[in-house]
Amino acid sequence: MKLALFDLDHTLLPIDSDYSWGVYTTDIGWTDNDHFRHRNDEFYAHYQAGTLDIHDYVRFSTEATRLRGPQVAAQAHADFMATRVGPNITPQALDLIRSHQGEQVIIVTATNEFITRPIASALGVSELIAVELERDASGWITGDIKGTPSFREGKVSRVKQWLAERDLAWDEVEVTFYSDSINDLALLEKATHPVATNPDPGLRTLATERGWRILDLFT
C-alpha cells in the first residue's frame, strides 16, 4: 500500500488554520482582542521554535469555542470556512492531492479535529489524523486532549495506530509525507519519501543537507 500523508497548515494551506481560527474568534467578539492575540502569538512562537506545550495550547485555544456550545460554534466555523479558509484553498494544493490518486491520502495535523475536519472535507480528503478532543457526557469538547496528540513524535505514533487498526505494519507501506515544519522531523525521517513543502528555514536547511525533495507549492 502507498500512503500519501500531508501536514495541513503552511503545507496544503498557505495559512495556519489553528492560529487563524483564534484570530477569527477574536474578530467576532468571543475573546478580548489584546489579551487573546498576545497569548496566541506567544503559543505560535513556541510552535515555530519547537517548544510548544500542546496540552496547554489546546486548553487555551478551545476555551472560547467550548464556552459558546456546539450550535453557535458550528455556525461560526461555517463562516470561518467561507471567509478565511475557502479563499486559501489553492489549485496547487488540490492538484498535489489529486496527483496521489490511487494511494491512501491522509491529512496528519497537529491542529485539533474541530477546526480541521471540515477543512479536510473541503480538500476532498476523507482520512484525517488530528488532535482528538475529549468530550463530556453531552458529547461536547472539554478542552483536554484525547489520547496521543498528533504533534511532533506523536504523529508517528498516530500513523502507526492508524496502520495497526487496519492490520498493517510500517514496513508494509510506502509512505510519502509532505510537511513545512521542522516540528515534523520524526515523521519525515520515518517516511519513504520525505518532501519538505514550503519549508521553514530549519527544515529547508536540513532537507538540502539530506537531499530531500523540496517543494515550494505556493510560489
Residues assigned a catalytic role: 7, 9
Measured between its terminal Cα atoms, the distance across the chain in Å is 31
State residue 164 phi and psi, 5-degree precision.
Answer: -60, -35
Q: How far is CA 146 from CA 29, 74, 105, 120, 121, in A?
A: 28, 20, 23, 20, 22
Q: Residue 136 has which C-alpha cell?
A: 463530556
Residue type, 21: W
> How do 133-135 and 127-131 pair as beta strands?
unpaired
Question: Minimal CA–CA distance to 191: which of 98, 106, 113?
Answer: 106
Q: How many CB atoms lie within 10 A of CB 129?
A: 21
Q: Distance between CA 95 and CA 210 in Å, rounded?
A: 26
What whole-number distance in Å separates Cα of residue 195 and Cα of residue 207? Answer: 8
Cβ neighbour number for residue 107 with a 10 Å cutoff: 26
Give the residues across from 176 on adjacent strands: 4, 193
